[in-house]
A and B are shown apart, each in its own frame.
Chain A
């Protein structure tokens, strides 16, 4: 359908609103939705004012009920199949993969199906002399995998199998002069690492070892004109970074520094007509943003600004009825990462079949209660 800019007229009253779907090549999932407004000009002619919205169209036969048993089976079997090229390739993030799998199983009440002893041994063997923990044996330590390891051991209430003091030293040693945190000794700076640092230390009860004021100052310097946060000062606002920064500010008791209305508006703007959430303007929805955006909204007390029914619908459509698991968007291939964030998103939306999840740590609330951690949330 062709659209053209409306000619000048004195009054343009929207008469009706409708959409048309087009397919882009062979990918049936992704279509451009045209939202058109029919307007009536002074002289009674109808004019079309078209505008494109990048989004997906959920097919009528997409899953609409929650298939928890299938997801539990999927995660329990992950990595034990023969043709596991994907599993091999993802060795460099194995520690995070374990955290994703364990957390989603715990949220579904199926933690007992995972190999507790083997996982604990594996995690322990990934701690290096410097105290940092690597993704897998033989890999270099990194803050990302240090956090995942600490989260995993917290789930299993086995934090003392590693040298906790050395972990604390490692994290402390990564703080830079400007308050930021490097991911590892090679010095990549990113607000993700600020979050990893304080989340790790909070779980270990040792937040006070770092220069808190400087750390906060750096994160706040990453706040943008739209209220969002990027990875470094000046970087574009991005939902993933916003999650890390609001999580950081929650842990450090600095949420009052956030402009909650402005940021909340930016976050609820991520919701597209399909109900799914994207990560920044003019991007496609992805189920992992159901976590990054939703958890951020929960932290700043504005989760009700999302249309929950539509989002739930989108998340459920991302399930694979045959294999179990969730994909980034309906019809794509599943993986443990999106499976965790789909289930965690549903938990935040209030699904009673899933355990309550903590929006800051992305861990079951009961685990954090056991540890005694209740990070601030705005109301």
Chain B
């Protein structure tokens, strides 16, 4: 391949001056650095040295886009896009497996990295031409950094990692991507795959804690915390569970209006039951004095409900019910009115399941069946 050409600033750029696409872009960036990348791309389109004009491509007959016997719509392509993809189709048609085909896939990807057929073809070529997979890792790294929210690029990276059977750069790379967007769903997926496939659990909990230091509301990080612990120590060891409960409560104190932390707390205590965890009610009630949050209130309702459901002797059942109903009403009418339907539903369920007296219905509910009776062991349900 040609070395990147250097040209003095202000030189008039001609289409035939340059032979290779990638260096072209570098040159333009140097000369036109003050323009936005979007402007550069527009300029680039105008100056592109079309494949159809290049002598080393002269043997191929470009294949135009086929929209079927009756084209659905008239499409206005840009010239460059047409040129590259017409040539791509020609290569596919001939099933050509060559270096120039490989180079062209890079052009096509540059124009449209979401085109999965181009990625397929590139993978076929990587294997057929026995290409250097380390170089391919560098390539896909650059593409992902540019377009981190694209399914194809991450899937391609995973294939290369599998072929190399080398995950050694992966956690570092994903961490870099996450430093730009800590919630990138694709990045997290890839990270989870690497860790599970290659058993790379060490240091992950520390990494998650770092992320939560930066943004305690990062739901992806909380999910990852659960993922790591689930796959390593598990939560059944009481010292682990204690550690997690205390850690979560600490984060909640810092930022009480944090859905993720409350979801996590609820999630890890599901098995044991919220009301069975010693001292939790006291700790959360104490929090209530200093922090105000609908999530805290909702958590208390869940805790009271659990006490009722398990018919726990540690609690006064009547008190649990009346407190739960009071909080549901408070949430529906003041604290979380947008979800009033949910709080009213919960209220009715609790009343019907654990209260004494006539079943309660919402005005829109059908009348309860006449034979309904107290069945405290069942899940609460809307009559």
Q: Which residues of A pack against B, CB within 8 Å?
A: 6, 8-12, 14, 35, 37, 39, 49, 51, 53, 78-85, 87-89, 91-93, 98, 115, 117-119, 121-122, 125, 134-135, 137-140, 142, 184, 186, 188, 224-226, 230-232, 234-238, 261, 264-266, 268-269, 271, 273, 275, 280-283, 302, 304-307, 310
In the assembled complex, B50 has its CB within 8 A of some CB on chain A: no
Q: Tell me whether chain B's interface is mostly helix, strand or loop, or mixed.
A: helix
Distance, CA A138 to CA B92, complexed state (A): 9
A78: nearest chain-B partner, CB-CB: B73
CA distance A194 to B68 in the complex (A): 30
Q: Is B112 an interface residue (CB 8 A)?
A: yes
User: Would you call B278 an interface residue if the criterion is a C-beta within 8 Å of the partner chain's C-beta atoms?
Assistant: no
- A281, B263: Cβ atoms under 8 Å? yes
Contact B290 A234 (CB under 8 A): no
Given A37-B292, A119-B72, A138 and B89 touching (CB < 8 A)? yes
Task: Check if B72 sits within 8 Å of A118, measured CB to CB.
Answer: yes
Q: Which residues of A contact B293 (CB under 8 A)?
A: 51
Q: Report A-chain residues with C-beta under 8 Å of the C-beta of B257.
A: 35, 51, 53
Given contact pairs A89-B112, A98-B72, A282-B217, a sample of 19 additional A-B residue pairs in the complex whose CB atoms are under 8 Å apart: A9-B290, A10-B289, A37-B292, A51-B257, A79-B73, A80-B73, A85-B81, A118-B71, A121-B68, A122-B67, A125-B68, A184-B116, A234-B192, A235-B185, A236-B224, A266-B263, A282-B218, A282-B260, A302-B342
Q: Distance in Å from the Cβ of A82 to the closest Cβ of chain B?
A: 5
Q: Which residues from chain B contact A140 at a C-beta distance below 8 Å? A: 116-117, 120
B189 touches A232 (CB 8 A): yes
Q: B188 near A186 (CB under 8 angstroms)?
A: no
- List B residues 95-136 near A (Cβ within 8 Å): 112, 114-117, 120, 123
Residues of A within 8 A of B345 (CB): 305
User: What is the minimal beta-carbon distance from B213 to any residue of chain A, in angstroms?
Assistant: 16
Contacts of A225 in B (CB 8 A): 226, 263-264, 266-268, 270
Tell me, in angstroms, the Cα distance from A243 to B293 when the chains sit together.
28
Identity of the chain A residue whose Cβ is nearest the Cβ of B195 in the assembled complex: A234
Task: Select from chain A the residue with minimum beta-carbon distance to B224.
Answer: A236
Q: Interface size on B (CB < 8 Å)? A: 70
Closest chain A CB from B92 CB (angstroms): 7
Q: Which residues of B contact A283 (CB under 8 A)?
A: 183
Shortest C-beta distance, B184 to chain A (Å), equals 11
Whether B46 sits at the interface, judged by CB under 8 Å, is no
Pick the residue among B123, B231, B364 that contacts A186 (CB under 8 A): B123
Contact A238 B151 (CB under 8 A): no
Q: How far is the CB of B46 from chain A (nearest CB, A)?
A: 14
Residues in chain B near residue A186, CB distance under 8 A: 120, 123, 155, 159
- CB of B76 within 8 Å of the partner chain: yes
Question: When the two chains form their complex, are residues A236 and B219 in contact, meaning their CB atoms are under 8 A apart?
Answer: yes
Considering the complex, give the chain A residue whose CB is closest to the CB of B340.
A307
Establish whether residues B289 and A11, one from each chain, have CB atoms under 8 Å apart when the complex forms. Answer: yes
Interface centre among B66, B92, B123, B192 (most CB of A within 10 A): B192
Check if A226 sits within 8 Å of B68, measured CB to CB. no
* A51-B257, A137-B66 as given contacts; A80 in contact with B74, CB under 8 Å: yes
* Cross-chain contact B117 with A8 (CB below 8 angstroms): no
Beta-carbon nearest neighbor of B121 in chain A: A140
B239 adjacent to chain A (CB < 8 Å): no
4 cross-chain pairs, A with B, having the tightest CB-CB distances, nearest first: A225-B267, A51-B257, A79-B73, A236-B223
When distances are taken between beta carbons in the complex, the residues of chain B under 8 Å from A236 are: 185, 188, 219-220, 223-224
Q: What residues of B have a CB within 8 angstroms of the CB of A269 in the complex? A: 259, 339
For residues 186 through 240 of chain B, which have their beta carbon under 8 Å from a beta carbon of chain A?
Answer: 188-189, 192-193, 196, 217-220, 223-224, 226-227, 230-231
